[in-house]
Amino acid sequence: MRPLVGVIMGSRSDWETLKHAAETLDELGLPYEVRVVSAHRTPDLMAEYAKTAEERGLLVIIAGAGGAAHLPGMTAAHTPLPVLGVPVESQALKGLDSLLSIVQMPAGVPVGTLAIGKAGAVNAALLAASIVGLRHPEYLERVRAYRRQRTEAVLAQPDPREA
Ligand SMILES: Nc1c(C(=O)O)ncn1[C@@H]1O[C@H](COP(=O)(O)O)[C@@H](O)[C@H]1O
């Protein structure tokens, strides 16, 4: 099936984080593509990717990057599609640099910014499914089922005092 979500990252080294978005999309059965594109290292490719995303049928882009994380914002500058930014945890500053680089967009060019690291990647996939679900309601059903499963797992946990 044609991908509805684009998962992009600034470097292959970001896959350790973005793979959690991919795994969640797999669990939801939501078709996606994965590409390494960088606003810094491959600026022309990044612009081309973002400009053609809509005509290629993508509905949402998940963009993860670390450090001077300009990829989500620069992608958003080239497309009206919703862009979800995932700050990758950097070694030097633990991802605070990534977070601040993504979250402080000027008014007019939004990036939906998620939490640093794995939780952000998982939640980006779930939000992408909710957005896609507005056009294809089966994905809203799958998000509902995903949540129900997690709720049941919590309720089935033993008393924390038990070893
Ligand atoms: N933040 C960006 C961008 C960008 O924003 O376009 N391109 C690469 N990078 C980041 O550089 C970090 C180190 O990359 P390497 O591991 O390849 O040296 C990665 O977290 C990547 O997201």
**Residue 134 Cα to ligand 1 middle (Å):** 32
Per-residue pLDDT 10s for the chain (163 aa) are: 899 999 999 999 999 999 999 999 999 999 999 999 999 999 999 999 999 999 999 999 999 999 999 999 999 999 999 999 999 999 999 999 999 999 999 999 999 999 999 999 999 999 999 999 999 999 999 999 999 999 999 999 999 998 6
CA distance 163 to 120: 30
Q: Which residue has the tokens 């998620």?
A: 114
Name the β-bridge partners of 35.
Answer: 8
**Residue 56 Cα to ligand 1 middle (Å):** 25
**Residue 67 Cα to ligand 1 middle (Å):** 7
Query: Considering only CA atoms, which residue is closest to atom 3 of ligand 1?
Result: 10
CA distance 151 to 147: 6
CA distance 101 to 86: 11
Q: How much is the pTM?
A: 0.97
Q: Is 88 in the pocket of ligand 1 (CB under 6 A)?
A: yes
Q: Is 71 in the pocket of ligand 1 (CB under 6 A)?
A: yes
Say yes or no: ipTM exceeds 0.85: yes
In Å, how far from its chain's centre is CA 133? Answer: 16
Domains of the chain in sequence order: 5-156 (3.40.50.1970)
Q: Is 13 in the pocket of ligand 1 (CB under 6 A)?
A: yes
